Amino acid sequence: MASPRNFLSSPPDLSVLETQLRLEAAIDLDGKDLWAFTNLPDPIACRENGCSETHTYIQHLKAFWRPHDGLEIPHEWTSLILPPGERDLELWFPLSLMSTILAPLRAQLRLTPTADFARRPPQYMGPQFPLQLAPEPTSAHLVAAMAKALLHSEDVPALYRLAPLFDGTYNCQMKVHPATRFAGAEPQDIVFALVPEPRPTSEIMARRFRNAPLRLLSPAIVIAVELEDLGSAFPDLTEAELQDLARVTQPHLEALLVARHQRCVGAPPATLPASEPPAAPACIFCIAFRDATLFILAHTAHLHREKGKYRYEAVLVDRLPFPPRAANDSAGVLARLRTVLALLTLRSHADRIAALWHDVAWPHPVWDAEAALVRTHTGIVTPSPSEHVNSDDERDRIIYDYFMNEDDSNVSSGRGPDGELEVDEAQIDPTPSEIARSKELVEGWIGRDT
């Protein structure tokens, strides 16, 4: 009988195994000129001349924050919903603030009945809006983060203001200023990263996650980088910046390619049921901030037909203004709302990418080397499943402070006796007295963030 593996013995070096896995996944370790830098083609040009599947996918995502007929948001977000009792205050307070902020923009927005949003099919690829009719555990946190982003001021760095929009992404966790550990790659200066790992359920697992570096089995699937301010003479990304962002993203993109290869080793990829969201292509999004502007780039990979190795493409998807708030700031609020919807769309993409890691079967030596690497950085050998802590406190320690607790057990479901969502849109529109009362109630709530 085979003896059990000893995790405290000398396991293989993960960097050696990583090099081997990358070779097996058709990654070119010695190639030069691996990157091409492009702008996302115009949809009309794509229809006339044809487009790659990846470009079409990215255009589909972009349409959610660059629509032709106004930004689409739930009806309840621009109107006051009065809570029937104390049990609904958790989500009602941030939604009231949202309605106060967005009410002046109603004519410029496309308001969709709230129940329609709640019934969106799984194939929907756009932002997953928190709704009072169908609350989830993180709904209040996310609405609060969105309201704070719309009220962004210069006293908080923009990327720190935007980071909480990704908190609560399914099967993902946030790392702030993470260390990196990839074979052959230099250390990377990342402000925050979204990582395909389930939420820690104990204090020791939370500490392990915080201290462990980004690595082959735990890369970033969304990366945020702060760029040096070059002044108004450089409104667009420079060639050097594009190359630097590609260098930062490449090991994470290659980790995604390795995971896809390992998932398919020995068996063809599973066909998704028609009810499931479409599979996302190999694409790592990078958001780079400079001088009140957010640049969104998609870093993708395709297999070179002749060489049989991967080549990479950095696609500039959009350039979004994110100015700090000012007086008479309707244009600024609209610009910040567009940025918020863009990041919520990338959050949905990250959810689909993270699902890839669920079924990856890594070789045993890789697991051994992974455990040794994490132990070196964290000092944690075997997490104890009995050391459970309050998840709300843990969330605050891992990322940022939020306004309210996360327990939604007392939030009304908003469903009728037949299980269908109920909403009377005619009763949502507030009267002047209700708006005045709303402002009084949220004034103290806003002060909690000052």
Phi-psi region for residue 415, left (φ > 0), alpha (ψ -120 to 50) or beta?
beta
Q: Give me the mean pLDDT over the 368-392 stretch.
A: 66
Structural domain containing residue 31? 14-449
Tokens of residue 81, six digits:
């919903």
Tokens of residue 383, six digits:
């997490």
Bridge partners of 182, per DSSP, are: none
pLDDT value at 225 more than 60 = yes
Q: Report the chain's mean pLDDT, rounded to a whole number.
A: 78
User: Residue 106 domain-assigned?
Assistant: yes
Q: What is the share, in percent, of the chain residues with pLDDT greater than 90? A: 34
User: Residue 8 domain-assigned?
Assistant: no
Question: Helix (H, G, I), strand (E, B), or coil: what is residue 417?
Answer: coil
Q: What pLDDT sits at residue 3? A: 37
Higher pLDDT, 155 or 322: 322
pLDDT digits over 54-69, tens only? 999 999 999 999 998 8
User: Residue 1 domain-assigned?
Assistant: no
Q: Any idea what the Cα angle at residue 156 is, between residues 153 and 158, rounded to 5°?
A: 85
- The structural domain count of the chain equals 1
Query: Which residue type, as a one-letter code, is found at position 266?
Result: G
Task: Return d(Cα 313, Cα 296) in angstroms, integer.
Answer: 14
Q: What is the share, in percent, of the chain residues with pLDDT greater than 70? A: 74
pLDDT digits over 227-279, tens only? 988 776 678 999 999 999 999 999 999 999 999 999 887 444 444 444 444 56
Q: Give me the mean pLDDT over the 7-20 stretch.
A: 69
HEC sequence for 187-215: CCCCCEEEECCCCCCEHHHHHHHHHCCEE
Tokens of residue 448, six digits:
């909690």
Higher pLDDT, 429 or 148: 148
Task: Return d(Cα 442, Cα 450) in angstroms, integer.
Answer: 13
Q: What pLDDT sits at residue 393? A: 41
Q: What pLDDT sits at residue 184? A: 83
Burial 420-440 (b: 16+ CB within 10 A, else e): ebebeeeebebeeebbeebee
pLDDT value at 448 more than 80 = no
Q: Name the pLDDT band for 428 (thresholds 50, 70, 90).
A: very low
Which has the closest alpha carbon to 285: 364, 404, 193, 359? 193
User: Residue 2 domain-assigned?
Assistant: no
User: Residue 136 domain-assigned?
Assistant: yes
Question: Helix (H, G, I), strand (E, B), or coil: what is residue 301?
Answer: strand
Q: Name the pLDDT band for 343 (thresholds 50, 70, 90).
A: very high
pTM: 0.79
User: Residue 5 domain-assigned?
Assistant: no
Q: What pLDDT sits at residue 170? A: 84
pLDDT digits over 296-334, tens only? 999 999 988 888 899 999 999 999 999 998 766 888 999
Tokens of residue 185, six digits:
């790659």
Compute φ and ψ for 315, nearest 5 degrees: -105, 120
Q: Give me the mean pLDDT over the 195-215 stretch.
A: 86
User: Residue 343 domain-assigned?
Assistant: yes
Q: What pLDDT sits at residue 350? A: 93
Task: Return d(Cα 362, Cα 7) in angstroms, integer.
Answer: 16
Q: Which of 150-154, 193-197, 241-245, 411-415 is predicted with the least confidence, judged by mean pLDDT?
A: 411-415
Q: What pLDDT sits at residue 119? A: 80
User: Residue 301 domain-assigned?
Assistant: yes
Q: What pLDDT sits at residue 264? A: 80
Higher pLDDT, 349 or 84: 349
- Asked whether the beta carbons of 173 and 208 are under 8 A apart, the reply is no
Q: Give me the mean pLDDT over the 337-352 stretch.
A: 94
Question: Helix (H, G, I), strand (E, B), or coil: what is residue 298?
Answer: strand
